[in-house]
Amino acid sequence: MAEEYLNTHNASILLSAANQSHYPKDNLPEVALAGRSNVGKSSFINTLLGRKNLARTSSKPGKTQLLNFYNIDDKLRFVDVPGYGYAKVSKKERARWGKMIEEYLVTRENLRMVVSLIDFRHEPSSDDKQMYEFLKYYDISVIVVATKADKVPRGKWNKHESIIKNSIGFDASDAFLIFSSVERIGIDEAWDTILENI
Ligand SMILES: Nc1nc2c(ncn2[C@@H]2O[C@H](COP(=O)(O)OP(=O)(O)O)[C@@H](O)[C@H]2O)c(=O)[nH]1
Ligand SMILES: [Mg+2]
């Protein structure tokens, strides 16, 4: 259980950063969360930390444009990466956003793993596939978290898991986890996998 290692409720937003010069300057391990807007990233963070509203959740996608660093009990940080696949941004804004994410993922020595969130209900988008390919290319360890599992009947879980894995070219050495913030499915597994990898 995560609670034996850290107090998961002792969490707060530390800072928001647009580039390297704003990142925290220490050696704490970081776990980054990536996924398209509205996939359930903020809900995942809130659920793991047992908080209602630490990471903002909204049905209006594309709001967060900075990297948000959350301090968890001074032992670990979550880094919320702004959601991709948001159509209503300009080319220029998209390019800035891409650079910001790439800079963090490629250069950050504190980074231990990326939680890649993908909607369990649908086929992965081309952005989902590109993100996973990118992470594999840079040899970053990944947990694929399939979100909103409460919206998929249990009898279809295996089928949906296969579709996602085939579609992204899932690497069997990564972890795959079925998750729901609403029904609180997969929380302990998520913590166990994260703590094994930092
Ligand atoms: N049914 C269901 N809805 C969820 C779940 N997680 C998030 N949502 C909803 O999906 C929407 C987007 O969630 P949010 O966490 O803000 O996504 P983000 O944009 O990736 O940070 C919100 O309306 C949430 O209430 C889940 O596990 N099940
Ligand atoms: Mg969010």
Give tens-digit pLDDT for 105-125: 999 999 999 999 999 999 999
Pocket test for ligand 1, best of 41, 43, 46, 58 (most atoms within 8 A of CB): 43
CA-CA distance, 36 to 127, in Å (whole number)? 7
Determine if ligand 1 sits within 6 Å of the CB of residue 61.
Answer: yes
pLDDT category of residue 187 using cuts at 50, 70 and 90: very high
Decide if 190 contacts 179 (C-beta within 8 A).
yes
Among 111, 113, 80, smallest CA distance to 11 is for: 80
Q: What's the pLDDT at 64?
A: 52
Give tens-digit pLDDT for 34-64: 999 899 999 999 999 998 888 876 545 545 5
Q: What's the pLDDT at 55?
A: 84
Q: What's the pLDDT at 126?
A: 93
The predicted model gives 66-94 an average pLDDT of: 87
Give tens-digit pLDDT for 13-31: 999 999 999 999 999 999 9
Q: What's the pLDDT at 3?
A: 73
Determine if ligand 1 sits within 6 Å of the CB of residue 56.
Answer: no
State the first-to-last Cα distance of the chain, in angstroms, to the nearest integer. Answer: 15
Q: What's the pLDDT at 61?
A: 52
Q: Which residues surround ligand 2, an ion (CB under 5 A)?
A: 41-42
Among protein residues, the one whose CA lies closest to atom 6 of ligand 1: 40
Determine if ligand 1 sits within 6 Å of the CB of residue 59.
Answer: yes
Determine if ligand 1 sits within 6 Å of the CB of residue 39.
Answer: yes
Give me the helices (H) in 21-175, please: 41-48, 91-107, 126-137, 157-168
Name 20's Cβ contacts closer than 8 Å, sequence gap at least 6. 103, 104, 107
Q: What's the pLDDT at 94?
A: 82
